[in-house]
Amino acid sequence: MTELPGSCIFCEIIDGTEQSSEIYRDEDCVAFMDLHPINAGHALICPTRHITSFTDLEPEESVAILGVAQRLARAQKLRLPNCSGVNLILSDGVVAGQEVPHAHLHVVPREKGDGFGWRRFGRPSNRRDLDSTAAQLRDL
């Protein structure tokens, strides 16, 4: 569902009425530093068009955002002194942790021992349950 921009902080960054530390911009997306970084170099990439949900992006917008994410991750690994890995994080919906109602992708540089990660929250599952869920998601 697309919402009207209203007072969207990311729309304000895109139109220049709000400050940001911009990394990249083209007609499809903008990349800028996160104000509350997990690690130094943590950046956000969002479409220039106001759209709340990742699932409502046009395929071309998704491709553009992922292409910029790949280039940014490469730069993080090459230029940030302790970056030896990168997480791409996209939270879609409030229950998933999306705090700004404008689709966006986090590109988080990782370093050994930084303490961030999900493995501690995952739970082992059995093959029957995994196969059942996979069947529900087939034939997209």
User: Looking at the annotation, which residues are catalytic?
Assistant: 104
State the DSSP code for 7.
T
Q: From CA 97, how far away is CA 53, in angstroms rounded?
A: 12
Q: From CA 65, how far away is CA 56, in angstroms rounded?
A: 14
And the tokens for 45?
């990439």
User: 3-class SS at 10?
Assistant: helix
And the tokens for 27?
């007609």
Read off the amino acid at residue 24. Answer: Y
C-alpha 57, offset from chain centre: 13
